[in-house]
Amino acid sequence: ASSVGAYLFADIAHIAGLVAAGVYPSPLGYADVITFTTHKSLCGPRGACILTTNPSLSRKIDRAVFPGEQGGPHVNAFVGMALAFKLARSDPFRQMQAQVVKNCAALTERLHQRGFRIPFGGTDTHLTNLDCGSVSGPDGTALSGDQAARLLDLAGLVVNRNTIPGDASAADPSGIRMGTPWVTQRGLMQAEMVQLADIIADLLQATTPFSLEGRKGGLRRARVDFATLEEARLRTRSLAEKAGIDFEPTRHGYPHYYYLDDQFKSIDDWVVLELTGERLRQFLDYAVSCDISALQPGDSSATSLETPQGMLDGALTCLSPYEFRFSLPAAQAALAAAWLRDLSDGFVAFDMQDTAAFPTLRKLPGPVIVRESGAQPVKKRAADLPPALQGKPDPSPARGDYKPYFINYPQRSGAALPVFTWEGNEQPLRRTPLFSLHEKLGARLIPFAGWEMPVWYSSVLDEHLATRQTAGLFDVAHMGVYQVEGAEAAPFLDSVCSNDIGGLGSGESCYTHFLDPDANVIDDTLVYRRGSEKFLVVVNASNDDKNWAWLNAVRTGSVRVDSRRPWARAYGRNAILRNLRDPKEGEDMRVDIALQGPKSREILLALGCDSQTRRRILALTRTQLCDAQVGGFDLIVSRTGYTGEKMAFELFLHPERAAALFQALLAAGAPFGIKAVGLGARDSLRTEAGLPLYGHEMGVGSGKGGQGDLGVAEGGFGSYVKAYKPWFIGREAYLKREQERTGVVARFRFTEKGVRMAHPGDPVLEKRGKVIGWVTSCAADSEGYLTGQAFVELKNAEEGTLIYLFQSASDKPGKAPAELRPGDRAILATPAVVVSRFPK
């Protein structure tokens, strides 16, 4: 370092104790500056030191260190550090540090013997790393360091997730890091390190890693065997109890520590467990046999709870949607509590025998608190129920035979409910509350989805560019707007939607889909959570009547919702459905106005509001919403839209106020360059953004050339289907279809300007001339190129792939190439390139 005018700096924070004990080389005498902490292997209080033997550097360091940035002048810390330094000079300390290294070597060697790869070839310090990728699942997914660390934490072993050589990102590491100073301080030796390594190996090797689809690639997850996890807890406890300690520790039970052999206080040999949680009702829908929808506050029902170690019988009592009590015989209480707690944690596997349902993916919603209650037990048991007649569904809520799913669902048969069918009736064109205003603004009006709507006001390109550069204002009051309310709103919506609706917090929204039992797309939709028991649902205008009929039929249990159990009814049948465009809803009626573009927030706030409302709107991030009074309008303000703009709003208000709001926004936005935007630019904007249109990228009419209609994953939106949900309409069919899927919708852009427009159904070819798909949408983008979407084979959907399109392809045969003569014209495919699925 000195030869090039540099200082040699050594940070020995982790190994300071080893260096002090002489079991690891010291940089003292070599490094110009040495830093270390006192709370790691030095085993002292939290603090740090800077050492140098250079007087000039010493003065500079002293001037650079001051309280506040590097820490405060805490005398108690100084005393603790001084004592740690004194102890570090003793023989027992040196012996302990030598044992730390021996213990780490023993732990590492045993893990290697158990089949794990050890990065860096081993260890000669207090730290070791383990490659969790040594464990992989049936789909080839390697166990991640994050999942391994979480599982070990549940077993009572605290480790760090850690990147290892070969990892692409610290956000998804493949390794874990472990250190032995603390266990050595507790008196554990090499023999106990072998036991510890075996606990780790047994637990991780009993784990099944797998991948879920995420927006930016696969998400690594894992499930573990219940018995192995519980045994690991007990073995870890045994080691901890064996270790030395020089004070009487405080004993902590649930939620910090809980075991399969826990003892519970009983009343007449019965125990009551209190269950609480925001998503408890949904958790119990899946966990126990009885029909939760049949239980109102104060009601009790016999029920069964299936565990990997046998079925447990008891009674479930509803106190509120968020609090239940489970009464059961005392001999079963510890198993019930452990199983319910592990289900809540989300790592234990269940129903693994039901391979047709892709059980590894399943996870119950949580968290749920399971604790002992001193309440009087309700002595009912499912075993006391009369047997079901000839395997037929029993209407008794306790048996839950009409539920679509619960863990270890028994074999039953029953009368199949009818398949939902829809045939829309021709109706006169409808008009939104803004129709007269559109006429005054000079809009060109056309029929669309049963409505008379503006296609443009000035030109599609002008309106497209205004939205991208300043702001565009859209009449979307033709969209269907529903509200789902009540304690069973989330269970109902999670039955009919493929996304995780119950997982939304108040003021959050998500994009999702209604699927039929065969995973065909009924519609795509946005769901907004306005409160704990209030959800707004916005659907396509073209499917509004169909969606309303479907949701009501599901709620009343009059249509088939599950192909394997065609007699089953969905969860949440007590949810309240309201159509907020129906005049009977009075003051609660709502329609949608969209304000989209980089200046949209400034324009919205220009209408005027109080400071608190202003802060609330400014705080909204994408997909969030709030209620707000702005410019005298009572609004639901949501940062969502159908243009791909990062700054965009949808404004829901009473239809009688819609025209006034539209005019007010046009006036407030005039200095910014706002434009009213019609359906033409709305379509070009969503196409440029890679967003789907029902009937084009998915749903009825999207299939071409003998190919069935495209589903959610074919449309490129598989990450919005949460396959970890134990059940929703179409789940199994969707996952089976996903196994066989060969193509996906990709976004493309023509390589040159001035080419002909492509239309839905136009063939797409790869570079050797093989037809690989068809166009689903195409429009001019902000830079004057034609950009579109096309369904293509998976291998041709990668960004940068060159493809060719026959625009407006003729269905009439032409001349054979051999017959072409000078002057003849031949149709050539136009080149395009696959671009990112969504604009960057």
Q: How confident is the model at residue 388 (pLDDT cuts 50, 70, 90)?
A: low
Quick count: other Cβ atoms within 10 Å of Cβ 15? 22
Q: What is the CATH number of the domain that holds 288?
A: 3.30.70.1400
Structural domain for 30, as ranges: 2-89
pLDDT in tens, 210-219: 999 988 888 9
Q: Which pLDDT belongs to residue 821?
A: 87
Q: What is the mean pLDDT of residues 819-827?
A: 86
- Residue 108's pLDDT is 98
Instruction: Note whether residue 109 is domain-resident.
Output: no
- Quick: pLDDT tens for 443-456: 999 999 999 999 99
Give the SS3 label for residue 51: strand
265 falls within a domain: no
State the pLDDT confidence band at 425, using cuts at 50, 70 and 90: confident
DSSP at 348: B
DSSP 406-468: -TTPPP---PPPPPP---PPP-PPB--TTHHHHHHTT-EEEEETTEEEEEESS-HHHHHHHHH
* Percentage of the chain exceeding pLDDT 70: 98
- The pLDDT tens digits of the residues spanning 287-322 come to 999 999 999 999 999 999 999 999 999 999 999 999
Residues 646 and 785 in one domain: no
What kind and span of H or E run contains 184?
helix 181-185
Rounded Cα distance between 789 and 644, Å, is 15
Of 31 and 817, the one with more pLDDT: 31
C-alpha gyration radius of the chain: 32
* Co-location of 468 and 520 in the same domain: yes
- Residue range 405-421: mean pLDDT, rounded: 91
CA trace torsion 67, 73, 78, 80 (10° rounding) = -100
Mean pLDDT, residues 275-297 taken together: 96
Residue 816 has pLDDT above 90, yes or no: no
Residues 232 and 355 in one domain: no
**What average pLDDT score do residues 597-603 get?**
98
Name residues whose C-beta falls within 8 Å of residue 280's C-beta, 6 or more positions apart in sequence: 321, 322, 323, 324, 368
Q: Which helix (H) or strand (E) holds 36?
A: strand 33-37
Residue 540 and residue 430 share a domain: yes
Question: Residue 271 pLDDT more than 80?
Answer: yes
List pLDDT tens digits, range 80-90.
Answer: 999 999 999 99
Question: What is the mean pLDDT of the segment spanning 644-652?
Answer: 98
**Residues found in the chain:** 840
Domain count, the chain: 5
Question: Which H helix or E strand runs over 211?
Answer: strand 207-214
User: Contact at 8 Å (CB) between 88 and 49?
Assistant: no
CA distance 772 to 805: 10
* pLDDT category of residue 71 using cuts at 50, 70 and 90: low
Is pTM, for the whole model, over 0.85? yes
Mean pLDDT score, 801-825: 87
> Do 408 and 400 form a contact (C-beta atoms < 8 A)?
no
User: Of 661, 648, 680, whose CA–CA distance to 437 is shortest?
Assistant: 661
Of 40, 73, 89, the last residue of a domain is 89
Residue 248, in any domain of the structure: no
Residue 468 within a domain:
yes
Q: Tell the residue number behind the tokens 């395997």, with chain if given.
A: 391
Examine the domain organization and report whether 524 and 613 are in the same domain: yes
Rounded distance between C-alpha atoms, residue 729 and residue 512, angstroms: 13
Is 511 found in the same domain as 652? yes
Which strand (E) or helix (H) includes residue 666? Answer: helix 658-669
Looking at 690-734, which runs of residues are DSSP E strands? none
d(CA 787, CA 686): 11
Cβ contact 380:300 at 8 Å: yes
> Is a pLDDT exceeding 90 seen at residue 385?
no
**Separation of alpha carbons 785 and 750, rounded Å:** 7
Q: What is the mean pLDDT of residues 406-421?
A: 91
